[in-house]
Structure 1
Amino acid sequence: MLEARQLSFQFASNEPLIQSVSLTLKAGEWVGLSGDSGAGKSTLGKLLAGYLTPQTGEVCLEGTALPKNGLQPVQWLPQSPELAVNPRWRVGKILREAWRPSEAQQQAFGVQPHWLSRYPQALSGGELQRICVLRALAPGVRFLIADEISTMLDPITQVELWRALKKEAEKRQFGVLVISHDTALLERLCPQRYHLSGGKLKQCSEQLEQCSDPLLPR
């Protein structure tokens, strides 16, 4: 279980962006997070993954603090994949930095073999995002923070990506926090959803049954 306990965070002299936020994400669970631009959704995601340190409160994995070194069991996936890779490395090296997925796993996420010999700037944003998602699924990863990861993708590619991710999550039982402005997408993917506003987290009243396939109607 990934648990945030009474997190508060602010940048320099700005107003507090996150105020006493608590959130629990269980193994195999999909939770949605919406909010206006600038509300602090990405900041909360970075706090949960250990990229930022809260001024107050703590983030715990199975009751203990997140590890400081080695493979991180909580992976944050940003909206802009080019910010998450070394532009001087070929894509194959970027992927192997974390693990060596099988050909079948690469195919499931639409990763083409010839991409691996290219540099990141030679791929489209959508292609590079597929690489980053696959890289984040290394053995030992327990939770994903998916921060607007399908915003730049066309509708068909979005469905393919979420299908592959849901299948892998079901098989390995890792939890996923989906951060998105697209409330319809969150309703499709996440039975439990929250809205962040004014630094506070509010649970959406309507709870839906989890949909196994984002393409299928409920």
Structure 2
Amino acid sequence: MLEACQLRYAFHAQPPLFEDVSLRLGAGEWIGLSGDSGAGKSTLGRLLAGHDEPAHGHIRIDGEQLPAKGLRPVQWLPQSPELAVNPHWRVTRVLNEAWAPPETLRRAFGIKPEWLNRPVRTLSGGELQRVCVLRALAPGVRYLIADEISTMLDPITQLALWQALKAEAEKRKLGVLVISHDAALLRRLCQRRYHLENARLHAAEHYQLS
């Protein structure tokens, strides 16, 4: 269980971006997070993955603190994947930084063999996003924070990415928090949705997945 309890976060002396935010994400569970631009969705995602520290509250996995070193069991996938990689590295090095995904999984995520020796700066944003999602699926990862990861993709590529991610997450019982403005996407993917508004987290909807 990934659990956030009574989180509070503020930028310096400004009013809190959010406060008293609590949520739970279980193994194999998919939950959605919506909210207006600037509401703090990405900041909450970074906190859950251990990239930032809350001003108050705590985040635990099965009652334990997030590890300070080594592979992060909670992976945050940002909307802009170029922020997460060294642009001079080749695709193989980016993937191997975390693990060596098998060819079958590379194919499932649409990663072509000819990409592997290319510098990541030569990939399109959508191509690089697929590389970064696959990198985040290293053994030992238990939870994913998918922060608007398909916004830049065309509809066909979006569908293929989510199908591949859903299949792998279900096989490994990964918990996934999907951050998106797209209510229809959240309804298709998630069991329930939270909405971040006016510095508070609200339970918005439960979905009946087919």
Sort the TM-score into its range (normalised by shorter chain).
over 0.9
| Letter aligned with residue 34 of structure 2 | S
The equivalent residue for 2:19 is 19
Shift of 1:71: 0.5
CA contact (8 A) 2:20 2:200 kept: yes
> What SS does the aligned partner of 2:193 have?
strand
- The residue type paired with residue 2 of structure 1 is L
Instruction: Show the counterpart of 1:146.
Output: 146
SS, match of residue 44 in structure 2: helix
Alpha-carbon distance in 1 for matches of 2:92, 2:135: 10
1-side partners of 2:88 and 2:185: how far apart?
A: 34
Residue type matched to 1:29 in 2?
E
Residue 31 of structure 1 pairs with residue 31 of structure 2? yes
Code of the residue aligned with 1:43 in structure 2: it is T
Q: Distance in 1 between matches of 2:130 and 2:11?
A: 31
Instruction: Write the mapping of 1:124-143 to structure 2, written as runs, cut at 5 A.
Output: 124-143=124-143
**Contact 2:88/2:121 (8 A) holds in 1:** no
Task: Tell whether 2:122 aligns with 1:118.
Answer: no
Amino acid at match of 1:208: Y
CA offsets per residue over residues 159-183 of structure 1, 9 Å max, x none?
0000000000110001000000111
- Consecutive unaligned residues of structure 1, counting only runs of 5 or more, are 212-218
Q: State, as a whole percentage, how many aligned pairs show the same letter.
A: 65
Question: Does the residue aligned with 2:116 lie in a helix, a strand or coil?
Answer: helix
Aligned residues between the structures: 210
Q: Secondary structure at the match of 1:177?
A: strand
Look up the equivalent residue of 2:177 and give its one-letter code: L
SS of structure 1 residue aligned to 2:209: coil
Aligned to 2:90: 90
| Residues 35 and 181, structure 2, Cα contact 8 Å, conserved in 1 | yes
Q: Which residue of structure 2 aligns with residue 214 of structure 1?
A: none
Moved over 3 A (4+): none
Q: 1:191-206 counterparts in 2 under 5 A?
A: 191-204=191-204, 206=205
Alpha-carbon shift at residue 126 of structure 1 (Å):
0.4
Q: Which residue of 2 aligns with 1:207?
A: 206
Aligned to 1:100: 100
1:210 Cα deviation after fit: 2.4
When the two chains are superposed, the root-mean-square deviation of aligned CA atoms in Å is: 0.7
| Secondary structure of residue in 2 paired with 1:58 | strand
Code of the residue aligned with 1:186 in structure 2: it is L
Q: Give distance in 1, aligned partners of 2:55 and 2:119.
A: 38
Unaligned runs of 5+ in 2: none
Equivalent residue number for residue 181 of structure 2:
181
Contact 2:49 2:74 in 1 (8 A): yes
What secondary structure does 1:76 align onto?
Answer: strand
- The CA distance in 1 between the partners of 2:68 and 2:133, in whole Å, is 22
Separation in 2 of the partners of 1:51 and 1:38? 18
- Work out the CA distance in 1 between the residues paired with 2:160 and 2:9: 35
